[in-house]
Chains A and B, each alone.
Chain A
Amino acid sequence: MSVNITFLAITGVLLAVGYYLVLERTLTRVLLGIVVLGNAVNLLILTAGGRMGQAPLFSPEVAPDEYSDPLPQALILTAIVITFAVTAFLLAMIYRSWSLTNADTVRDDEEDIRVSQASAYDEEEDAPVEEDTTEFVDEEGRPIREGEE
């Protein structure tokens, strides 16, 4: 098959822009990056489908290979709509992030940082405890004298 250089060039630029934006910390740019990546990949799928052709509307006179390949088209069509849904979801997330933190940037996860600086000491595992010599103890572990059955 012949390879369409223009399409490859567009795909390449869109991919680069998309990857770059996704690596940003501003949520809006991340979202824009995802949208651009979506367009780039759709174009790549279209390119892989081959050269331009007749619109895939059946006509008995047209040979099957004269149509523009319908299979990638079906794939792209669902991809377009899914990208729309994802975009809407991320927009809602950006809004939520903005209303909670007054920022639309991704911050470093404080919990992660806390975990990475945690100490290996664990109360449950490492705290020294005295050995009991009876199992009849109250809630604080003090022995209670038993007797009656």
Chain B
Amino acid sequence: MLIILIALFATAALCPLIFRYFRRNGFYIVAAVPAVGFAWLLTQFPAILSSQLDSANGQPNAPPSIEYTWIDGFLVNLDFRLDTLAAVLLLLILGVGALVLVYCGRYFKNDDMGVGAFAAKLVAFAGAMIGLVTADDVIIMFIFWEITSVLSYLLIGFSQALITARRSAMNALIVTTFGGLAMLAGLLILGTSTGSYRLSDIIAAAPQLSSMGMHIDVAIGLVLIGALSKSALVPFHFWLPGAMAAPTPVSAYLHAAAMVKAGVYLVARLAPGFADTAFWAPLAVGIGIATMIIGGYRALKQYDLKLILAFGTVSQLGFIIAIFGLGNADAAFAALALTLAHGLFKATLFLAVGIIDHNTGTRDIRKLSGLGRKMPLLAIATTIAAASMAGIPPLYGFVAKESVFDALLHLDGELAWVPLVGVVLGAALTMAYSLRFVIGAFGSKAEVAPVECYRPSLIFLAPLLVLTVGTVLLGLLPGFVEPLVKHAATLYPQDPEVHLAVWAGFTPALGLSAVALLVGVAFYILRARTDTGVPLRRKVLSAEEIYRGLVNAVDELAIWVTGRTQRGSLSFYLGVILAVALVVPLSIALTVPTPWPTHWVIADHPAQMIIGAIMIVGALAAIRAAKRFMAVLMVSVTGYGMVAIFALQGAPDLALTQLLVETIVLVAFVLALRALPKRLWVGISKVKPARALLATALAAMTVYVAIGMMAARNESRISLAFPDLAYYEGYGANIVNVTLVDLRVWDTFGEITVLAAAATGVASLIFVATPVARRLRAGEIKSGSIDHGSEAISTGEFSQAGLDIARQFARSNNKDWLIAGHTLVAERRSIIFEVVTRVIFHAILMLSIFTLITGHNTPGGGFAGGLLAGLALTVRYLAGGRVELAESMRVSPNILLGGGLAVAGFSGIFPLLLGDPVFSTYVWEFALPIFGEHKFVTSTFFDIGVYLVVLGLVQDVLRSLGSEIDVLSEGRSPVARHDVVAGYRRGVGR
């Protein structure tokens, strides 16, 4: 059976290809797959019918089964089991499936859009249904269950352009997945209570489960909600008439023969074990009967042939579920016979409606007239199917309904008359709407002109005729079906006392049939007399209106909640986040006993207090500063204060790194913010009490919690082992550096990845429209052309003499101190700066490499080295402008970033090639003639990667915040913001 399942899904995948070559005739090829499956299924019946249904998988006489372990830890397995119930449903799924696909071959036109995809969904749906009914694992069953919901959604929405199709598809999806969710919860409760998710185990354990208490009742109730929603029972029934927006073959297959039977299947499956649980009878039997009557009544009110059938289907599904729900052998026998009957006649009727719609262009019974004469063959076949639906002898529908009446007459108990009366009433309504359907579709109406239409070809009619023949044959020879349904009923202790027979003598059941038919005719006549041809406004709130109301209420609630919480104000969001961050930890810290330190010191060193005082003053000044750069400077006071603290504390690496970063950050601030006004927060600088209170409280809470945490420490620090680890296993004396490149190397690797990402982010924010330009060469730029025309740096103060010297310097024939210094306009140049840069640049670069190489043993390493090199680059840029930056670093930052990551990554992978763990470190000791004994540690390669990434980051910052902003603002004063903005308005840099 797995082969059919896989073959169907594989065919679905191939559908687009098949339909590209064969157009709509591809349907005939595709139909072969379920047809072959059907033939195979027939060969399996002897084995299935000779098996013992209640024996566990693996027993010699168990039904055919397949088992694969899938997720062992969660007890979820790919178990499939082909027992009689599954096989009977497979007959419908495969048989009707093949016929519907054949039908599609003439229903669609060659130039219809998306036929290939349509066929793929239909075939995949057949596969999913097979999985659903054969799965012996509830989780697997649930997965297939949801696949059918999704495919149903896609198929209903086939006509994407129509709002009705889209809306109906969405309604169907929401209702069925709601039910599916309830069902999943129920299945999980059942599975965990049983200790197995195998369906056959759960049913076998039903007696023990039922005695476990209320939660099993609830679980079964939840599963039933899933079944009811899928089979469109009240109050979920409204999605099925809506689903009639789907192409008619889909309605015939999914919404009559196959998918809606999933709920029936589930009820039939669980009834032998759980029919006695608390919610079973009201949900399955009660709602089933109610649905049968409501559906039948609503069908009588419809004018659209398809809607008559849709409400009729709702009615019939309620009927079948109610009978299965009775939970005894007779009922199971009769209900299964009825399921087959329904599949046969309802598919026929839908296919007939499809042909009528296809050939006349309407399904409205008020417009159709005289069709019986135009399409006699169709009319005969349809009438037979409708008669079977109404339960008229000698058709199979009659035989099945007789067995139901029989089963109901055998029912014991005080309330046994309720289902009997309900079913007879429902059967009468069925008779009435069957008449309405047949006469509405094919009858001649005096006041309506006969419709014009083509006759359908035989090949278009063929599938429908096959089904009709089935209905007649099974009616006359019910012996084909009897062994099947009888075997399926062996799951119950008693033997069924009912039989399938077209003539069993004058029995009470026959009398009930006659009553139902006569009452049905009366209903029809009554309805025909009062029918005005205009749908009445109904006074009762329909289920669909309640559903729409619910959806709207959810929308309103969502908008209300969104409006209250998503106010669009960042300060508000942050305020809420910080307030929560204040209240939650504080309330915990205040309610549980907090350890408190016994030993305090004011400071480890007097200098700490002086540094601290300076930092505090700087921080407070940053709040009050009215000018942008003043605030930046005040903040950097705290940064440099950190440098001093680190140095005192015994953290030379930190001091070094912080010092370098602080300097580069200062440059970056100036570069990025130079275009912004000096003073921006005029009037904003007064302190706001609420914010200040929140900020102070948060800070106090953080410090309080920190004190508690420090006091709670009762173990010695974990890093006591680090010195030995670093020296004897990492081969380096600088413990911090070895920690970074060896002991905690994964952290560092993650971090440099973040650096690369941030650098790319900076560049992409600045180079928005302009691609990164070709690298500039100093030789190609006209001397003194860069930044020409901008106003002097500081008019007035800069003396004329100074300007003269600068111009002279620019014009002198001496070899340039910097490669691209000459490209700047004279006013922008600084002789001293250029000379000094020339003198110190290479020295800084050498120092950075030295710092990198020796970082393993002395303060330094990749971070400090990269920052130093970046600083050297910064000096070049500041002295010589953007062309100088391009000249001094001829590789692009992208290469540095990517190359650095590659080098670091390779240093991790390389040991794998030697069979060692990732990021293993090797040491290579060697002696040099003058320099003596040395050793080289391979983690230095990782540090080189870090160095390159950091250098790339600094270069990217200079290129973006420096060069590119230069380009955008050249020729204007950098602080004349209106100029700059006007430039952007014209599209520069946007």
Residues of A within 8 A of B (CB): 1-26, 28-29, 32, 35-36, 39, 42-44, 46-59, 62, 64-65, 67-71, 73-74, 76-78, 80-89, 91-96, 98-100, 102, 104, 106, 108-113, 115-120, 122, 124-127, 129, 131-137, 139, 141, 143-149
What residues of A have a CB within 8 angstroms of the CB of B597 in the complex?
1-3
Q: List 15 A-B contacts (CB under 8 A).
A: A3-B600, A8-B707, A13-B616, A20-B691, A22-B574, A43-B642, A64-B722, A64-B723, A83-B661, A99-B990, A100-B984, A125-B167, A129-B163, A134-B362, A146-B357
Contact yes or no, B638 A14, CB < 8 A: yes
Contact yes or no, B612 A9, CB < 8 A: yes
- Candidates B303, B564, B620, B755; contact of A17 at CB < 8 Å: B620
Supposing A91-B672, A133-B362, A133-B364 touch, asked if A28 and B680 sit within 8 A by C-beta, the answer is: yes
Contact yes or no, B651 A73, CB < 8 A: yes
Contact yes or no, A12 B651, CB < 8 A: no
Q: Mark B707-735, 1 if CB is under 8 A from A, else 0.
A: 10111010011111111101100001111
Contact yes or no, B567 A6, CB < 8 A: no
A146, chain B: closest CB distance, angstroms = 5
What residues of A have a CB within 8 angstroms of the CB of B651 in the complex?
46, 55-56, 68, 73, 76
Q: How far is the CA of A17 from the CA of B615 in the complex (A)?
A: 11
User: Residue among B106, B765, B961 with the most chain A CB within 10 A?
Assistant: B765
Contact yes or no, B556 A120, CB < 8 A: yes
Q: How far is the CA of A124 from the CA of B700 in the complex (A)?
A: 52
Contact yes or no, B106 A149, CB < 8 A: yes
The 10 closest A-B pairs by CB, nearest first: A112-B568, A116-B563, A68-B650, A109-B568, A85-B758, A19-B695, A15-B699, A16-B699, A91-B672, A145-B361
Contact yes or no, A125 B739, CB < 8 A: no
New contact pairs (4) apart from A1-B710, A52-B605, A129-B163, CB-CB < 8 Å: A10-B641, A11-B703, A35-B665, A68-B650
B578, chain A: closest CB distance, angstroms = 6
Closest to A143 in B: B361
Q: Mark B827-870, 1 if CB is under 8 A from A, else 0.
A: 00000000000000000000000000000011100010001000
- Candidates B361, B456, B657, B980; contact of A81 at CB < 8 Å: B657
- Candidates B619, B628, B631, B698; contact of A13 at CB < 8 Å: B619
Q: How far is the CA of A29 from the CA of B564 in the complex (A)?
A: 27
A148, chain B: closest CB distance, angstroms = 6
Supposing A117-B563, A139-B161 touch, asked if A39 and B639 sit within 8 A by C-beta, the answer is: yes
Contact yes or no, A58 B723, CB < 8 A: yes
Closest to B620 in A: A17
Contact yes or no, B692 A20, CB < 8 A: yes
Q: Mark B246-265, 1 if CB is under 8 A from A, else 0.
A: 01100000000000000000
Q: How far is the CA of A139 from the CA of B162 in the complex (A)?
A: 8
Q: How far is the CA of A92 from the CA of B775 in the complex (A)?
A: 22
Q: How far is the CA of A139 from the CA of B454 in the complex (A)?
A: 24
- Candidates A58, A69, A70, A111; contact of B568 at CB < 8 Å: A111
> For window 567-615 of chain B, which residues contact chain A by CB distance below 8 Å?
567-571, 574-575, 578, 597, 599-605, 608-609, 612, 615
B706 sits at the interface (CB 8 A): yes
Contact yes or no, A106 B706, CB < 8 A: no
What residues of B have a CB within 8 angstroms of the CB of A32 in the complex?
622, 631-632, 635
A15, chain B: closest CB distance, angstroms = 4
Closest to B718 in A: A71
Q: Mark B483-525, 1 if CB is under 8 A from A, else 0.
A: 0000000000000000000000000000000000000000000
Contact yes or no, A35 B556, CB < 8 A: no
What residues of A have a CB within 8 angstroms of the CB of B363 in the complex?
133-134
Contact yes or no, A71 B722, CB < 8 A: yes
Contact yes or no, A81 B755, CB < 8 A: yes
Q: How far is the CA of A69 from the CA of B733 in the complex (A)?
A: 14
Q: How far is the CA of A132 from the CA of B479 in the complex (A)?
A: 43
Q: How far is the CA of A84 from the CA of B676 in the complex (A)?
A: 21
Contact yes or no, B567 A116, CB < 8 A: yes
Contact yes or no, B642 A57, CB < 8 A: no
Closest to B744 in A: A74
Contact yes or no, B599 A1, CB < 8 A: yes
Q: How far is the CA of A129 from the CA of B703 in the complex (A)?
A: 63
What is the total number of residues of chain B having a CB less than 8 Å from a CB of chain A?
Answer: 161
Closest to B606 in A: A6
What residues of B have a CB within 8 angstroms of the CB of A145 in the complex?
360-361
Supposing A15-B703, A85-B759, A92-B960 touch, asked if A56 and B723 sit within 8 A by C-beta, the answer is: yes
What residues of A have a CB within 8 angstroms of the CB of B691 in the complex?
20, 23-24
- Candidates A1, A52, A82, A106; contact of B713 at CB < 8 Å: A1
> For window 354-377 of chain B, which residues contact chain A by CB distance below 8 Å?
357-364, 367
Selecting from B341-349, B407-415, B746-754, the interface stretch reads: B746-754
Supposing A56-B734, A99-B980 touch, asked if A7 and B608 sit within 8 A by C-beta, the answer is: yes
A118, chain B: closest CB distance, angstroms = 6
User: Residue among B622, B651, B740 with the most chain A CB within 10 A?
Assistant: B651
Contact yes or no, A20 B602, CB < 8 A: no
What residues of B have a CB within 8 angstroms of the CB of A39 in the complex?
638-639, 642
Supposing A20-B695, A56-B736, A76-B654 touch, asked if A5 and B600 sit within 8 A by C-beta, the answer is: yes
B668 sits at the interface (CB 8 A): yes
What residues of B have a CB within 8 angstroms of the CB of A59 in the complex?
733
What residues of A have a CB within 8 angstroms of the CB of B192 in the complex?
none
Contact yes or no, A3 B164, CB < 8 A: no
A133, chain B: closest CB distance, angstroms = 4
Q: How far is the CA of A126 from the CA of B548 in the complex (A)?
A: 8
Supposing A82-B755, A132-B245 touch, asked if A52 and B166 sit within 8 A by C-beta, the answer is: no
B150, chain A: closest CB distance, angstroms = 19
What residues of B have a CB within 8 angstroms of the CB of A74 in the complex?
736, 739-740, 744
Q: How far is the CA of A137 from the CA of B460 in the complex (A)?
A: 21
Contact yes or no, B623 A17, CB < 8 A: yes
Contact yes or no, B965 A95, CB < 8 A: yes
User: Residue among A15, A94, A149 with the most chain B CB within 10 A?
Assistant: A149
Closest to B724 in A: A64
B684 sits at the interface (CB 8 A): yes
A142, chain B: closest CB distance, angstroms = 11
> For window 142-161 of chain B, which residues contact chain A by CB distance below 8 Å?
159, 161
Q: How far is the CA of A19 from the CA of B950 in the complex (A)?
A: 29
- Candidates A19, A93, A94, A113; contact of B673 at CB < 8 Å: A94
> For window 866-883 of chain B, which residues contact chain A by CB distance below 8 Å?
867
B981 sits at the interface (CB 8 A): yes
Contact yes or no, A84 B665, CB < 8 A: yes
Q: How far is the CA of A52 from the CA of B649 in the complex (A)?
A: 4
Q: How far is the CA of A83 from the CA of B568 in the complex (A)?
A: 27
User: Residue among B641, B672, B696, B990 with the most chain A CB within 10 A?
Assistant: B672
Contact yes or no, A43 B645, CB < 8 A: yes
Contact yes or no, B635 A24, CB < 8 A: no
What residues of B have a CB within 8 angstroms of the CB of A83 in the complex?
661
Q: How far is the CA of A149 from the CA of B106 in the complex (A)?
A: 6
Contact yes or no, B751 A69, CB < 8 A: no
Q: How far is the CA of A55 from the CA of B571 in the complex (A)?
A: 42
B702 sits at the interface (CB 8 A): yes
Q: Mark B638-667, 1 if CB is under 8 A from A, else 0.
A: 110110011011111110011001001100
Contact yes or no, A16 B696, CB < 8 A: yes
A84, chain B: closest CB distance, angstroms = 5
Contact yes or no, A52 B635, CB < 8 A: no
What residues of B have a CB within 8 angstroms of the CB of A144 in the complex?
361
What residues of B have a CB within 8 angstroms of the CB of A96 in the complex?
765-766, 768
B788 sits at the interface (CB 8 A): no
What residues of A have a CB within 8 angstroms of the CB of B364 in the complex?
133-134
